[in-house]
Amino acid sequence: MEGNGDCVIKFWTDKGIERALFSNRFEADGIVFQEPTDLMFSFNSPVGACPKCEGFGKVMGIDENLVVPDKSLSVYEGAIACWRGEKMGEWQKEFIDKVWKYDFPVHRAYYDLSDSEKDLLWNGNDKVYGINSFIKMLEENLYKIQYRVMLARYRGKTVCPLCKGARLKEEALYVKVGGKSIADLVLMPIYKLKEFFDGLVLDETDTAIAKRLLIEIENRVQFLMNVGLSYLTLNRLSNTLSGGESQRINIASSLGSSLVGSLYILDEPSIGLHSRDTELLINVLKDLRDIGNTVVVVEHDEEIIRAADYIIDIGPLAGRLGGEIIYQGDVDKLVSSSDSYTVKYLIGEEKIEVPEKRRKWNNYIEIKGARHNNLKNIDVKIPLGVMSVVTGVSGSGKSSLINNVFYHALQQKINDATTEKIEYNEITGDYSLINRVELVDQNPIGRSSRSNPVTYIKAYDEIRKLFSSQPLAKQLNFTPAFFSFNVEGGRCEECKGDGEIVVEMQFMADLKLTCESCHGKRFNSDVLEVEYNGNNIYDVLNMTIDQAMEFFGSKKGATEKKIVKRMKPLQDVGLGYVKLGQSSSTLSGGESQRVKLAFFLGEEKTDSTLFIFDEPTTGLHFHDIKTLLKAFYALLDRGHTIVIIEHNMDVIKCADYIVDLGPGGGDKGGYVVSSGTPEEVVKSKESYTAEYLKEKLQVS
């Protein structure tokens, strides 16, 4: 206590009096360090968070993507946007004149520069002024408006300069295990993290301290490997994960808890999984079962169904034609069933046939030098007029290539759209043959609670015209607008056409109560008195697509024919069970995607369109996939082009052209493993897709 943690011992030796200093403080070389605690390594705690970025890893600063918008250019070619122009170009000229002494490659593309070369370009040295010196000059001259404008042009979210994106205080990064800080470990893909801990060597004391911790760490890392997430890094933001990835992380968390006697209910855990990863997931589910748990899976994937011990099949169809137990029993004792489509497909009575011939193509669009996210500077051809499928294991770069690079590049070329800068060299080929490009994703078809399928496909306009033409409506001077719940007039003003009242609860979820004025019917009593063929507007909106097709199809009027024509695409894409007035917020992602597909099928336009679908089979049964493929073929017959990101082998086997990315996920992916027709791709020895496609094509 008296020495404040210091103790000096003097003792006699042959050489005279010597001193030995001892301290129980956490310090070395005169520097006092913070005593480590678990909170010190958490960026969610003020104890461990970086003081500059507060644990976010990013701050407002100079955005590299704005300073270097085209990374395929070299410094000599003007890659540095702020060094362009007659006056600012002097900075580039001076940099080039001086930097040759340090072997800096002024003619090499920016994306090919090494980390040390980029450091020289940005930070310079005592002889060379870099980009940051230029930025500093701007900041010192902010009294000039042109410099303020220029500086604002290059500002954006950028990596925190203090923690370099690690999100932690400097003190936390001083602590290392096996030569690695915690920031180094969370940046590793899971498979590399496993290799690190497998090869970790500690001294006797540290081994005793870490024994139990290492067992828990290694188990949890192995669980993430087992559910097919080996390509993820631990610092990956949760809002960038897909639904399937989030669900599989929850499964891994459950495995880590080692619970027994529990009931696990999983809703389509195979979403976003390649067949290779599905096998890993099946093993995990069996492990959960084997340690004494009950696992119930809602699933359409054939591999998972066949791996089950017991299946319950509900149907026979959807909506009002479903809701019955069609089959239940052991999977290995399946017998022919006249009603169960699941059983029919499993035993081979029904099947999705391989096309007799592949569509031929001559024209194509080519993306060159795609480098977005984990793409490895690849060149990819996408044929026109055919159905192309982009495949690969989870995390192989499919969405980066198609949704990011390909889609945005086409938008810029066709629509001259200003989109976010995506890293690629150029787009070439016959893109002039495409009039528009449509990304048909699984986002909701509308944000309003009043949005529904029948309004999206423009059938409701005709239905409102039909009701306004009825005798009672004419007597009351009801226009088509009176039969809309979006505008004042005919809608219930108590609930504004929603059919329910939302009661805001301050500390709990909001309550939704049926409107007492209209009793959930959304319209006022006068409007509900107007009937067509015995049904008012509420009754019609409460019909399913199939029911409405029968209801309006029984009449031969011109308006009825228009209504049937507009609704027919919804039936064609397998949505006959959906109600006309069903809120879009209650539709699944797959249903929303098919509503969009129905809209395009119902269009009268013949403009050559390139459609991009991102995993359209999500949530679809074998029978629904067969129906979906017919809808795709209808688009192709009209001269359109379809590009699909997909894992489902039944869709892949029906493709005219395949681009297989991989071979692995994360940093192991991003390459074109194979491309061509399905018959050509199955010959690839490096492709995981080829391995599972052989069975579908019955190729040995």
Residue 81 Ramachandran class (φ > 0 left, ψ -120 to 50 alpha, else beta): alpha
- Diameter of the chain measured on Cα atoms: 122
The DSSP code for 373 is T
CA distance 33 to 40: 12
Q: Which two tokens stand for residue 98?
A: 């001086």
Dist CA 586 CA 594 (whole Å): 14
The answer to whether 348 touches 361, Cβ cutoff 8 Å, is no
Give the span between the Cα atoms of 481 and 486, in whole angstroms. Answer: 9
End-to-end CA distance of the chain: 80
d(CA 423, CA 69): 9
- The answer, yes or no, to whether residue 1 has pLDDT greater than 60, is no
- Structure confidence at residue 137 as a pLDDT band (50, 70, 90): very high
- What is the b/e burial string over 231-249, where b = at least 16 CB atoms within 10 angstroms of the residue's CB? bbeeebeeeebeebbebbb
DSSP state of 403: I
Q: Determine contact, residues 551/558, Cβ cutoff 8 Å.
A: no
User: Rounded distance, CA 315 to CA 436, Å?
Assistant: 39
pLDDT in the model for residue 50: 93
CB 450 within 8 A of CB 486: yes
> In angstroms, rounded to a whole number, what is the distance separating the alpha carbons of residues 194 and 544?
52
Residue that is written with structure tokens 């509503």 in the block: 595
Q: Strand ranges (DSSP E) for 444-536?
A: 500-503, 511-514
What is the chain's length?
700
Going by C-alpha positions, the residue among 239, 251, 307 that lies closest to residue 275 is 307
Give the whole-angstrom CA distance, residue 658 versus residue 682.
10
pTM of the model: 0.83
How far is the CA of 199 from the CAs of 175, 195, 211, 467, in angstroms? Answer: 19, 6, 14, 75
Q: Is the pLDDT of residue 342 over 80?
A: yes
Say if residues 614 and 294 touch (Cβ distance below 8 Å).
no
What φ, ψ does residue 542 adopt, rounded to 5°? -85, -5
- Which pLDDT belongs to residue 129? 92
Between 63-72, 402-411, 643-652, the lowest mean confidence (pLDDT) is in 63-72
Residue-wise pLDDT for 383-417, tens only, equals 999 999 999 988 889 999 999 999 999 988 887 76
**Residue 257: its pLDDT value, please?**
72
CA pair distance 309, 641, nearest whole angstrom: 42
Q: Scanning the structure block, which residue is given the tokens 């336009």?
A: 605
* Helices (runs of H) and strands (runs of E) counted in the chain: 27, 21
Q: Could you tell me which of 377, 416, 417, 426 has the C-alpha nearest to residue 397? A: 377
Residue 417: per-residue pLDDT: 67
Alpha helix ranges (H) inside 505-544: 525-529, 537-541
Instruction: Give strand ranges (E) for 139-262.
Output: 155-159
In this structure, of 170-184, 352-366, 416-430, 570-584, the range with the lowest mean pLDDT score is: 416-430
497 closest CA partner among 505, 487, 508: 487
Average pLDDT over residues 61-68: 87
Q: Are strands 16-23 and 6-13 parallel, antiparallel or unpaired?
A: antiparallel
Tell me how far apart the alpha carbons of residues 414 and 433 are, in angstroms, rounded to a whole number.
10
User: Are 66 and 156 in contact, with CB atoms under 8 Å apart?
Assistant: yes
CB under 8 Å to 458, separation ≥6 — which residues? 566, 599, 602
What band does 195 get if pLDDT is binned at 50, 70 and 90? very high
What pLDDT is stored for residue 419 in this prediction?
62
Residues linked to residue 60 through DSSP beta bridges, in sequence order:
157
